[in-house]
Amino acid sequence: MVPATISGETAAPIQSTDTHCPYCALQCAMTITSGVGTPRIAPREFPTNRGGLCRKGWTAAELLSTPDRVSSPLIRDESGTLVPTSWQVALDFVAERIRTIQGKHGKDSVAVFGGGGLTNEKAYQLGKFARIALGTANIDYNGRFCMSSAAAAANRSLGLDRGLPFPVTDFDEADVIMLIGSNPAETMPPLVGHFAHAKNTGGLIVLDPRVTATAALVGEFGEHIQPVPGTDLAVLLGISHVIAFEGLLDRDYIAERTQGFDHYLSALSAWWPERTEAVTGVPAEQIRSVARTLAANSPKQGGRTFIITGRGIEQSRQGTDGVTAAINLALMLGLVGAAGSGYGTLTGQGNGQGGREHGQKADQLPGYRMITDPDAREHVAKVWGVELQDLPDKGKPAVELLKGLGQPDGPQALLVHGSNIVVSAPRSIDIAERLRSLKLLVICDFILNETSQYADVVLPVLQWAEEDGTMTNLEGRVIRRKAATQPPEHARSELWVMRELAQRLGAPGVWSTDPAEVFDELAAASRGGKADYSGLTHQTLDCHEAHTGGQPGSGLYWPIPATSQAGTPRVFTHTFPTPSGRATFHPVQHRGNADPITRDHSIYLVTGRVLEQYQSGAQTRRVKALTDAVPEAYVEMHPLLAQRYDLQEGQNITLKNDRGTVAAAVRITRNIRPDTVFMPFHWGHENSVNRVINWVTDPISGMPEFKTATVLIETSRTTAVSAP
């Protein structure tokens, strides 16, 4: 730390701190320099980003001085206005209201909704707080909207959910990379550098209804598969059919490392390429070509191939089955666990991986233990210092939880940590009405967002650069996030907030506000679980980073049991964590979208992201450079569709179905199918595309069908435009 002088006076000391980006799960390494006005960001060499940052990372420091920062607790007065108050008044009010509601309606009448951006320490403590301070089963988080289908598929097929079961640097020498419903060129741009070898040799395959920035990289010799929206599962069945019935599979791998293949083979018989073409619109010859390319570059043939899924296939009522089809394909080719090959999924939120491992999900306890497992319950109860019978049972997944808010038999109070559900949840108009009916809504955040307008209390908490903790990135790499700047005077850590409320509610157990101590308890609670962190402490992470400089191969990947502090960069190399030690083929079938195409709803709508915005936009819409680049929502459509409805570039239109309406300006491009429109989901109010998204869910994962809906188009010149 070096004192800086300005005009002969001593200013705030200049301090540089190594940390990680607050946005996506790539968790790019950066250095923050404070004491120089607005803190400065510089990229740092690290295996995931290799010295690069995207526009969001470069501008992340602007959030630290956003002028609309919540600077003190707010409470809604009799006139309906949020007004400043003291921490004591706010916390006393919340605790008393919780006691009153639970006294009348029972423990489960208070619910908690967390976020995939919380540190491991806060995610862990939030799960503990819900279950033993509130005594409620009703806790879930926005990761249910992100990773739940991939997690469910990996758990049932491979025995373990770790987004990438290998380091991202394994992509560097890949011959073929198949991306299914993923657009990392816009969602996590530094990752694309790892695809260079596959791209340059014509081995990049992208399955997506749009010509995304990622699909545009395939070049002359790669493959862009552009199916009817919602039919990606059928495409995978068609590819698998070719591999099976042309004898292109790895029979030795299947015999030695898997089970259930014969049963799966019978399910593939109906998906010959011509039938697949009739369902998906993908030419039969392209299906054959892709299958043969994958097989020719499989480990059996001395190649290196990866199959990677993303939200495009996962956010569907058949998301778990879609990912299962991708895993089945990878198993047929002998990819999973092979050197230089594999299957994985690209985790979205910054701590989407760690956030679901340690207790925020309705069905999980720390260490990726299932809450229905008697041994898991006993272990965690001992760590928490409570009686076994005091732990609640499995709660409701996110959509069911939110649908029940304010209903006679549902939660009457909700505490929200790090999520903006009025923008991010499906059928968001209905969700807003549910929030309006609550007896208590408490928001912990550092800014006001669209959800805050319904809050009774807003508690100002710390931002990413103001607190210590750990994150777990998309590779399962546990990393340190370090405090780099001073928080505002009245902002508090959520660990402190939970301690204060726990004490007011008379909760048992220890409630530390020191992130290192909370991590030690997390490590103990995770001991012996699938996501075992028991060999880690803040100190070991700090020492490891200092000694290695974060160079490739140095990451501490879970599981890291106390008996071995080396970590596990690659899982599945020798066995699978299943009872038999084998991976399992699960037969799946294509069911299609919940929304049918009809005369009234004749257009497919697909949703997604843009480079400059993130999640609900609550953070990135406050950064001028990002807002200037993409200032508002838009509806992307093909010139033929625009011509059919006599629409011009920039014209305002409305998309409508029986769930609601959403408005935006037209953007005309040939990068989309003529029967489909695309709209990003980063905006609120009338620009929030989730107003028209179905809340039908995958029966296994609880994932809503975010990616695909059907709509009609209304213009300023007509009341409604239907198919001719």
DSSP state of 650: T
> What is the C-alpha to C-alpha distance for residues 539 and 96, in angstroms, rounded to an integer?
39
Within 13 Å of residue 706, how many CA atoms lie on the same side as its CB? 33
CATH number at residue 309: 3.40.228.10
Count structural domains, the chain. 4
CB-CB contact of 357 with 343 (8 Å): no
Question: In degrees, to the nearest 5, what angle opens at C-alpha 375 toward C-alphas 517 and 402?
Answer: 75
Q: Which two tokens stand for residue 192?
A: 């694309």
pLDDT at residue 554, rounded to an integer: 53
- Domain co-membership, 399 together with 261: no
643, containing H or E segment: helix 639-644
Tell me how far the alpha carbon of residue 254 is from its chain's centroid.
31
Residue of 51, 49, 191, 45 whose CA lies nearest to 548: 45
Say if residue 18's pLDDT is above 60. Answer: yes
CB atoms within 10 A of CB 543: 11
CB-CB contact of 483 with 468 (8 Å): yes
The partner residues of 550 in beta bridges, in order of sequence, read none
Among the candidates 26, 44, 65, a domain finishes at 65
From residue 244, alpha-carbon distances to 269, 299, 598 in Å are 9, 16, 36
pLDDT at residue 547, rounded to an integer: 59
> What is the C-alpha to C-alpha distance for residues 109 and 138, in angstroms, rounded to an integer?
8
- Domain co-membership, 411 together with 301: no
Range scoring the smallest mean pLDDT among 33-37, 159-163, 385-389, 494-498: 33-37
CB-CB contact of 519 with 74 (8 Å): no
pLDDT at residue 549, rounded to an integer: 52
Within 13 Å of residue 374, how many CA atoms lie on the same side as its CB? 0
CATH number at residue 403: 3.40.50.740
Instruction: Establish if 398 belongs to a structural domain.
Output: yes
Confidence bin at 403 (pLDDT 50/70/90):
very high
Say if residue 462's pLDDT is above 90. Answer: yes
CB atoms within 10 A of CB 513: 16
pLDDT tens per residue across span 307-337: 999 999 999 999 999 999 999 999 999 999 9
CB-CB contact of 460 with 488 (8 Å): yes
Q: How many residues does the chain have?
A: 724
Instruction: Establish if 563 belongs to a structural domain.
Output: no
Instruction: Establish if 402 belongs to a structural domain.
Output: yes
From residue 229, alpha-carbon distances to 234, 279, 593 in Å are 11, 11, 8
Cβ neighbours of residue 418 under 8 Å, at least 6 residues apart?
A: 114, 115, 116, 117, 118, 142, 444, 445
CB-CB contact of 336 with 583 (8 Å): yes
CATH number at residue 711: 2.40.40.20
- Secondary structure class of 367 (helix, strand, coil): coil
Instruction: Establish if 721 belongs to a structural domain.
Output: no
- Mean pLDDT value of segment 103-111: 98
- Domain co-membership, 117 together with 182: no
Say if residue 719's pLDDT is above 50. Answer: no
Place of tokens 């998204």: 693
Instruction: Establish if 419 belongs to a structural domain.
Output: yes
Among the candidates 315, 346, 377, a domain finishes at 346
- Domain co-membership, 131 together with 155: no
From residue 512, alpha-carbon distances to 121, 365, 493 in Å are 10, 19, 11
Average pLDDT, the chain: 93
Range scoring the smallest mean pLDDT among 332-341, 439-448, 557-566, 631-640: 557-566
Residue of 22, 15, 7 whose CA lies nearest to 57: 22
What single string gives the DSSP state of each residue in 70-120?
--S-EEE-TTS-EEE--HHHHHHHHHHHHHHHHHHH-GGGEEEEE-TTS-H
pLDDT tens per residue across span 246-292: 999 999 999 999 999 999 999 899 999 999 999 999 999 999 999 99
> What is the C-alpha to C-alpha distance for residues 272 and 275, in angstroms, rounded to an integer?
6
Place of tokens 């993923």: 182
Q: Which two tokens stand for residue 431?
A: 């969700």
- Domain co-membership, 173 together with 315: yes
- Domain co-membership, 33 together with 131: no
Domain of residue 16, residue span? 5-65
> What is the C-alpha to C-alpha distance for residues 394 and 466, in angstroms, rounded to an integer?
34
pLDDT tens per residue across span 421-452: 999 999 999 999 999 999 999 999 999 999 99
- Mean pLDDT value of segment 533-543: 92
CB-CB contact of 444 with 459 (8 Å): yes
From residue 292, alpha-carbon distances to 240, 295, 297, 321 in Å are 10, 5, 9, 23
CB-CB contact of 352 with 366 (8 Å): no
Task: Give the largest CA-CA distance in the chain.
Answer: 81
Q: Which two tokens stand for residue 559?
A: 């599981």
From residue 271, alpha-carbon distances to 231, 233, 234, 267, 506 in Å are 13, 11, 8, 8, 60
Say if residue 409's pLDDT is above 90. Answer: yes
Place of tokens 């029986």: 658
pLDDT at residue 329, rounded to an integer: 98
Residue of 188, 233, 226 whose CA lies nearest to 205: 226
Q: Which two tokens stand for residue 115?
A: 């976020």
- Domain co-membership, 612 together with 691: yes
> What is the C-alpha to C-alpha distance for residues 571 and 167, in angstroms, rounded to an integer?
10
Cis amide linkage into residue 639, ω under 30° from 0 = no
pLDDT at residue 713, rounded to an integer: 96
Confidence bin at 514 (pLDDT 50/70/90):
very high
Among the candidates 44, 65, 86, a domain finishes at 65
Cβ neighbours of residue 78 under 8 Å, at least 6 residues apart?
A: none
Instruction: Establish if 572 belongs to a structural domain.
Output: no
List strands edge to edge, sheet with 15-20: 15-20, 29-34, 40-43
Say if residue 5's pLDDT is above 70. Answer: no
pLDDT at residue 320, rounded to an integer: 98
Confidence bin at 1 (pLDDT 50/70/90):
very low
Helices and strands: H and E segment counts in the chain: 23, 30
Q: Which two tokens stand for residue 473?
A: 């990135």
Say if residue 416's pLDDT is above 70. Answer: yes
pLDDT at residue 6, rounded to an integer: 32
First to last CA, the chain: 70
Residue of 448, 453, 450, 454 whose CA lies nearest to 685: 450
Instruction: Establish if 257 belongs to a structural domain.
Output: yes
Which alpha helices (DSSP H) does 481-571 contain, by range? 494-504, 515-526, 538-548
- Domain co-membership, 425 together with 487: yes
Place of tokens 């996590």: 188
Q: Which two tokens stand for residue 436?
A: 């309006």
Instruction: Establish if 577 belongs to a structural domain.
Output: no
> What is the C-alpha to C-alpha distance for residues 189 and 340, in angstroms, rounded to an integer?
22
Say if residue 530's pLDDT is above 90. Answer: yes
- Domain co-membership, 19 together with 120: no
> What is the C-alpha to C-alpha distance for residues 361 and 373, in angstroms, rounded to an integer?
15
- Domain co-membership, 229 together with 305: yes
- Mean pLDDT value of segment 132-146: 96
Say if residue 555's pLDDT is above 80. Answer: no
Cβ neighbours of residue 67 under 8 Å, at least 6 residues apart?
A: none
Q: Which two tokens stand for residue 101?
A: 């509601």
Question: In degrees, to the nearest 5, what angle opens at C-alpha 62 toward C-alphas 419 and 346?
Answer: 50
pLDDT at residue 503, rounded to an integer: 98
DSSP state of 131: I
CATH number at residue 61: 2.20.25.90
- Domain co-membership, 30 together with 128: no
pLDDT at residue 4, rounded to an integer: 36
pLDDT at residue 722, rounded to an integer: 39
- Domain co-membership, 238 together with 368: no
